Structure 1
Amino acid sequence: MKEFTKKATHLFNSSLAIIVFILIWEICARLEIFNPVFFPPFSKVVKALYGLAASGELWKHCSISLMRSLSGFTLGMFVAIPLGLVIGWFKKAEVFLYPLLQVFRNMPTLALLPVFVMFFGIGEFSKTMVILWGVLWATLLNTIAGVRNVDPQLIKAARSMGVGSLRLFGTVVLPASLPYIFAGMRISATVSILILIAAEMMGASKGLGYALFFYQSNFKIPEMYAVLIVMAVFGVTLNYTLEKVEKRSFRWRDGADTP
């Protein structure tokens, strides 16, 4: 009972700011402090959200966006993590590739969308590739930083015990880099949502980004806000999941700050 009360109190404290925000939203809308056409009450948005969910339209857009986001994010991680480990570990690779990566990293992802469309067409693959490009950099650079920041004393001690390079990398460098990698993955997960929505708004016939643009264009404002809420929940859930995986993976770091 004591544990339940503690968890309930923690949940309430964590949700208090959100509850206050919703109340302020509802009150301001009811008092028509802002134009009610563009700022409907939160209760009206919830009603619209329920209508979209009941009709099945919301789930259709959510499933498509989820598939696009996860496919681009997963492919991006398969590229970013190995490449970051190689660049961080091999100095020659770092000297050769790092300047080029900095140039690519500073190119606006959405500005490259027309290029991806020219190369990969207007279908799903081009959207997956632009998400891959966008999520690549945070994890890649964090992985490089993780390898660079491995305690030199650990490496020196392992070498003094005759540990080979391959084993050294697997038992010392990689585990020490994992907190940085997970921190980069959490940033990339958020980026994947942002890029996905923008890409869907620019060229798609389904998905949350398309739904947002459609409702805004047709002045269905409560539905527009409902989609925005779903996007926020989507991003928070993805980040929360990665955070939980990270905590379970690094229980030995209890008491230490997560990057």
Structure 2
Amino acid sequence: MAVTHDTTADRALAEVPGRIKKEQRALPSFLKTTGLALLFPMLLLLIWEGTVRFELVAGHLLPAPSEVVGTIGAMAADGSLWGHIGITLYRLLWGFFWGTLAAVILGSIVAMSRNAETMFDPLIQAFRAIPSLAWVPLFILWLGIGEPSKVTLIALGVFFPVYLNVVGGIQSVDRKLIEVGKAYSLSQFQLVRRIILPASLPSFITGLRSGLGLGWMFVVAAELLGASQGLGYLLVLGQNTLAPNVILASIVLFAIMGKLTDYALKKIQTRALHWQDSLKT
């Protein structure tokens, strides 16, 4: 037993230099990736700041980035920023949840049944062509100007890209894989869990990212009408008070929050699809 313990300990100690070297290689790679990602945005900000500072653009129409950052900092200092971000995230996440849930259920039914596809898909495609703002008066009439109408509008925006990717992902599963599963006497549940779900997962996660992006667009439409708090409300406030710095601060916050939420989904995608033999991997 002592010999086995010593051997295991020696093996663990021998692996330490390899781990250190791996971490040392990963750090420069991370710094290089981060630098490349920030290069173009920083260049745009410098050009933007320079055009305002040298009065090539009127500052009262296009405030400098430093002024926009100052506006965000002032809202963070007085505490109003966190309330606007919090209520917007609340609306987005609830709308994203309900829209995704409906899309997964209906998309799975349509993809697995030809009769269901014939019945439901043409109507869904027709609804998809309706502009988001066209739904606003109807939702306000039915649900009022409170949170239910806003969350429903966001859920509607999330639904369509997730639905399309769920249907497309399931229907694109290789028929030979299904036949192999049936040859091994897999039940319907086992076919879904072991073949259909893994094969359609890449398309599904792509649909989630697309749905999240549309969710951010629809949250703007939801908050432009009848909201008293939120990042969309800041857009209206900046317009009504003739404050372009507030408008740009809201736009910058939308961009930051949208990027952070998409980054989180991308990390989930990387972990969920680590088995995939793709060009990137």
> What range is the shorter-chain TM-score in?
over 0.9
Q: Out of 139, 142, 148, which is 1:119 matched to?
A: 142
1:173 corresponds to which letter in structure 2? I
Is 2:65 aligned against 1:42?
yes
The corresponding residue for 2:32 is 9
Report Cα offsets for 1:189-210 as digits up to 9, x if no partner.
0111111112211221111101
2:210 corresponds to which letter in structure 1? I
Q: Out of 151, 154, 164, which is 1:128 matched to?
A: 151
Call closer, same or farther: CA 1:91–1:204 in 2, change over 3 Å.
same
The corresponding residue for 1:237 is 260
For 1:2 and 1:154, locate their aligned partners in 2 and report how far apart those are by CA, in whole Å: 39
For 2:55 and 2:240, locate their aligned partners in 1 and report how far apart those are by CA, in whole Å: 23
The corresponding residue for 2:88 is 65
Identity %: 33
For 1:180 and 1:105, locate their aligned partners in 2 and report how far apart those are by CA, in whole Å: 19
For 2:58 and 2:221, locate their aligned partners in 1 and report how far apart those are by CA, in whole Å: 26
For the 8 Å contact 2:132–2:221, the answer to whether it is kept is no
Call closer, same or farther: CA 1:29–1:254 in 2, change over 3 Å.
farther
**Deviation of 1:223 (Å):** 2.2
Shifted more, 145-154 versus 209-218: the winner is: 209-218
For the residue of structure 1 that corresponds to 2:275, the secondary structure is helix
**1 or 2 for the larger relative contact order (CA 8 Å, sep ≥6)?**
1
Shifted more, 94-103 versus 4-13: the winner is: 4-13
**Deviation of 1:257 (Å):** 5.5
For 1:121 and 1:3, locate their aligned partners in 2 and report how far apart those are by CA, in whole Å: 52
The corresponding residue for 1:53 is 76
Shifted more, 26-35 versus 58-67: the winner is: 26-35
For 1:119 and 1:38, locate their aligned partners in 2 and report how far apart those are by CA, in whole Å: 39
The corresponding residue for 2:42 is 19
For 1:244 and 1:91, locate their aligned partners in 2 and report how far apart those are by CA, in whole Å: 34
For 2:67 and 2:107, locate their aligned partners in 1 and report how far apart those are by CA, in whole Å: 47
**Deviation of 1:165 (Å):** 2.2
For 2:27 and 2:258, locate their aligned partners in 1 and report how far apart those are by CA, in whole Å: 27
Give matches, 1:216-255, under 5 Å: 216-253=239-276, 255=278
Report Cα offsets for 1:83-112 as digits up to 9, x if no partner.
111110111111111111111111112211
**Where does the alignment leave 5 or more consecutive residues of structure 1 unmatched?**
none
For the 8 Å contact 2:110–2:116, the answer to whether it is kept is yes
For the residue of structure 2 that corresponds to 1:38, the secondary structure is coil
**Deviation of 1:254 (Å):** 5.0
For the residue of structure 2 that corresponds to 1:248, the secondary structure is helix
For 2:26 and 2:146, locate their aligned partners in 1 and report how far apart those are by CA, in whole Å: 51
For the 8 Å contact 2:83–2:230, the answer to whether it is kept is yes
For 1:18 and 1:87, locate their aligned partners in 2 and report how far apart those are by CA, in whole Å: 42
Call closer, same or farther: CA 1:257–1:116 in 2, change over 3 Å.
farther
For 1:256 and 1:71, locate their aligned partners in 2 and report how far apart those are by CA, in whole Å: 34
1:54 corresponds to which letter in structure 2? A
TM-score relative to the length of structure 2 = 0.88
